[in-house]
Structure 1
Amino acid sequence: MNEVQLVVAHSERATLRVGDVFLKVDADQARIDAEVEAMALAPVPTPKVLWHKPPVLAIAAVPGTALGRLGEPSPASPAAWAAAGAAIRRLHEAPLPPKPGRAGRDLDELAADLDGECEWLMTNGVLPADLVTRNRQVAEAALRPWTPAFTHGDLQITHVFTDDDRVTGIIDWSEAGQGDGLFDLATLTLGHEEHLGDVVAGYGTDVDLDVIRAWWSLRSLLGVRWLIEHGFDPFAPGCEVDVLKSRL
Structure 2
Amino acid sequence: MSAPDVVVDCPHPLLLDALTEAGFDATGARFTPLRSGTDSLPFAATTRSHDELVVKVRRAGSRSRYASAAWASTRMRAAGIPAARILWHSIEACVETRCQGRPIEAEPLQPQDLDAATRAGEVLRRLHSIEVSSFGQLDGHGVGQHSTIQGWFLALPSRRTPRPDDPDLTRLLNRARFTLEAGACRLPQAAPKLLHGDWVGRHLFTDDRHITGVVDLESVRGGDPLTELAGWSLREPALMTEALLTGYFDGPFPAESLLPLILFRLRIAVSLLHFHASCDDQGMVRLRATQIQADLDDLDHGHLTAVPRIAPDPHTPGRRRP
TM-score range, shorter chain: 0.7 to 0.9
State the match for 1:62 in structure 2.
99
Aligned partners of 1:78 and 1:204: how far apart in 2? 15
> Shift of the alpha carbon at 1:161?
1.8
> Shift of the alpha carbon at 1:240?
2.8
Q: 1:15 to 1:99 in 2, by over 3 A?
A: farther
State the match for 2:72 in structure 1.
38
RCO higher in 1 or 2 (8 Å CA, sep ≥ 6)? 1
The question of whether the paired residues in 2 share the 8 Å contact of 1:183 and 1:212 is answered with yes
Q: 1:142 to 1:166 in 2, by over 3 A?
A: farther
* Residue in structure 2 matching 1:92, options 128, 132, 139: 128
State the match for 1:179 in structure 2.
223
CA deviations over 1:24-74 (Å, ceiling 9, x no partner): 233544x211110100111211113243243210123212222228xx654
Q: 1:141 to 1:194 in 2, by over 3 A?
A: farther
Identity rate, percent? 21
Counterpart residue type for residue 262 of structure 2: R
**1:5 maps onto 2:54 in alignment:** no
State the match for 1:111 in structure 2.
154
Alignment of 1:207-226 (within 5 A): 207=254, 208-226=257-275
The question of whether the paired residues in 1 share the 8 Å contact of 2:87 and 2:97 is answered with yes
TM-score, normalising length: structure 2: 0.62
RMSD: 3.2
Count of matched residue positions in the alignment of Structure 1 and Structure 2: 239
**1:196 maps onto 2:245 in alignment:** no
Q: 1:125 to 1:108 in 2, by over 3 A?
A: farther
**Higher strand fraction: Structure 1 or Structure 2?**
1
**1:21 maps onto 2:57 in alignment:** no
Aligned partners of 2:209 and 2:272: how far apart in 1? 31
**1:125 maps onto 2:166 in alignment:** yes
Aligned partners of 2:167 and 2:212: how far apart in 1? 39
> Shift of the alpha carbon at 1:235?
2.0
CA deviations over 1:91-148 (Å, ceiling 9, x no partner): 1113x2455443975414532525x44x524745275345435644665657613322
* Residue in structure 2 matching 1:49, options 79, 82, 86: 86
> Shift of the alpha carbon at 1:168?
1.1
Q: 1:171 to 1:55 in 2, by over 3 A?
A: same
CA deviations over 1:186-220 (Å, ceiling 9, x no partner): 12222323332221221124442343333222111
Secondary structure, aligned partner of 1:184: helix
The question of whether the paired residues in 2 share the 8 Å contact of 1:45 and 1:168 is answered with yes
Q: 1:100 to 1:239 in 2, by over 3 A?
A: same
Aligned partners of 1:222 and 1:213: how far apart in 2? 14
The question of whether the paired residues in 1 share the 8 Å contact of 2:114 and 2:239 is answered with no
Aligned partners of 1:74 and 1:131: how far apart in 2? 31
Q: 1:215 to 1:122 in 2, by over 3 A?
A: farther
Gaps of 5+ in 1: none
The question of whether the paired residues in 1 share the 8 Å contact of 2:162 and 2:277 is answered with no
TM-score, normalising length: structure 1: 0.78
CA deviations over 1:155-206 (Å, ceiling 9, x no partner): 1222122221421111111222431111111122223233322212211244
> Shift of the alpha carbon at 1:89?
0.5
The question of whether the paired residues in 2 share the 8 Å contact of 1:217 and 1:244 is answered with yes
Q: 1:127 to 1:152 in 2, by over 3 A?
A: farther
User: After TM superposition, which residue ranges in structure 1, 4 or more long, deviate above 4 angstroms?
Assistant: 103-106, 121-124, 133-143
Q: 1:9 to 1:170 in 2, by over 3 A?
A: closer
Aligned partners of 2:134 and 2:151: how far apart in 1? 18
